[in-house]
């Protein structure tokens, strides 16, 4: 695949470009006619508890960069857990194994708060740089680590940075996951096809639009440092929720403790939860609960 990728794509035979497109593809939509409790919309809030693994995965070890991640565990995660408890809202926490090993008490706090803990790689590695063997090994060790620390076997995976390699779907099947949450082919959950064949794996799709990172992160050494007032993101997410509710669908959100957990930003999540809670036809669920509900038998 890699050598072909470097070749001139305008010379590819039809079978080649069709093959790439069909490798991992969206199958049937899985949105039920009605969500549990006769709810009109499902809400799945998730956090990627990356913490120090964002610099570590690139080999960056400066205490300055690591401290930004440490903030996520030290300040933001407890703050987020309190907010979720106040709003009686379950969430899914996707946590790299290295982050979980650095913060085992945090994993326990997620579990005792009634939240889901799911796989998010070993050290937030970039899957597209790995061989199939290495990706399987790291994902398997990530799974084993969370089993030990969380006390239950995760049923879901989110690839670090949503970086999905040619082997990722094979790894997901080899390790027996029920669902993935890394792809973007729909607003609604769907079945994953591999080379045209149904896999039985549920995809709970994500989008950069429903993610805090693109709005609030910056590269200190880049010339452009975009920043937007956090409450502007609130408007985007409220619109996404309102439209999902109008369509009887799913509102899924991806946040990061080290990004959203700051004082001027967590108010956005608070206001968003208040907006969602002002409707009485909402089903709050973890990603695992949604996958369990809609996965084919």
Please list every residue from 36 through 55 that binds Zn ion, using CB under 5 A: 48, 50
Q: Answer yes or no: are the C-beta atoms of 226 and 235 closer than 8 Å.
A: no
Determine if 211 is a binding residue for Zn ion (CB under 5 A): no
Three-state DSSP state, 103 = coil
| Integer Cα distance of 40 and 67 in angstroms | 42
Least Å distance, CB 57 to Zn ion, is: 9
Please list every residue from 239 through 278 that binds Zn ion, using CB under 5 A: none
Count of residues that bind Zn ion according to CB under 5 A: 2
| Integer Cα distance of 209 and 233 in angstroms | 9
For residue 149, give both structure tokens. 């620390």
Q: Which residues lie closer than 8 Å to 18 by C-beta, 6 or more apart?
A: none
Least Å distance, CB 108 to Zn ion, is: 20
| Residue whose tokens read 């990722």 | 168
In sequence order, the β-bridge partners of residue 250 are: 42
Estimate the crossing angle of helix 263-277 against helix 77-86, to 10 degrees: 20
Least Å distance, CB 95 to Zn ion, is: 9
- Nearer to Zn ion by C-beta: 47 or 190? 47
Residue in the shown chain whose Cβ atom is closest to Zn ion: 48
| Integer Cα distance of 66 and 102 in angstroms | 12
Least Å distance, CB 71 to Zn ion, is: 15
Least Å distance, CB 121 to Zn ion, is: 8
Least Å distance, CB 94 to Zn ion, is: 7
- Nearer to Zn ion by C-beta: 50 or 52? 50
Residue 19: other Cβ atoms inside 10 A: 14
Nearest to 276 by CA among 239, 224, 221: 239
Least Å distance, CB 160 to Zn ion, is: 5
- Nearer to Zn ion by C-beta: 127 or 199? 127
Find how far residue 237's CA is from the centre of its chain: 16
| Residue whose tokens read 């620390």 | 149
- Nearer to Zn ion by C-beta: 35 or 179? 179
Q: How far apart are the first and last CA of the chain?
A: 33
Task: Give residues in contact with Zn ion (CB under 5 A).
Answer: 48, 50
């Amino acid at each position: 695949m890699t050598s072909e990728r470097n070749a001139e794509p305008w010379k590819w035979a039809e079978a080649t470009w069709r093959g790439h497109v069909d490798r991992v593809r969206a199958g049937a939509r899985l949105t039920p006619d009605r969500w549990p409790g006769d709810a009109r919309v499902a809400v799945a809030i998730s956090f990627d508890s990356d913490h120090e693994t964002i610099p570590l995965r690139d080999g960056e070890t400066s205490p300055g960069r690591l401290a930004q991640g440490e903030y996520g565990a030290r300040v933001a995660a407890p703050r987020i857990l309190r907010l979720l408890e106040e709003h009686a809202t379950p969430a899914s926490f996707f946590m790299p194994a290295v982050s979980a090993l650095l913060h085992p008490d945090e994993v326990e706090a997620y579990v005792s708060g009634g939240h889901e803990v799911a796989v998010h790689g070993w050290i937030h590695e970039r899957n597209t740089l790995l061989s199939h063997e290495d990706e399987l090994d790291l994902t398997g060790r990530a799974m084993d680590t969370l089993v030990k620390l969380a006390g239950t076997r995760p049923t879901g995976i989110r690839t670090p940075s949503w970086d999905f390699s040619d082997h990722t779907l094979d790894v997901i099947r080899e390790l027996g996951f029920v669902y993935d949450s890394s792809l973007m082919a729909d607003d609604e959950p769907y079945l994953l096809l591999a080379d045209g064949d149904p896999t039985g794996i549920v995809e709970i799709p994500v989008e950069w639009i429903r993610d805090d990172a693109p709005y609030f992160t910056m590269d200190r050494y880049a010339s452009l440092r975009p920043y937007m007032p956090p409450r502007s993101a609130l408007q985007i997410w409220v619109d996404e929720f309102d439209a999902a509710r109008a369509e009887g669908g799913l509102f899924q959100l991806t946040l990061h403790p080290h990004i959203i957990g700051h004082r001027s930003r967590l108010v956005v999540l608070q206001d968003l939860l208040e907006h969602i809670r002002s409707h009485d036809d909402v089903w709050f669920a973890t990603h695992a609960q949604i996958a369990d509900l809609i996965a084919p038998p």
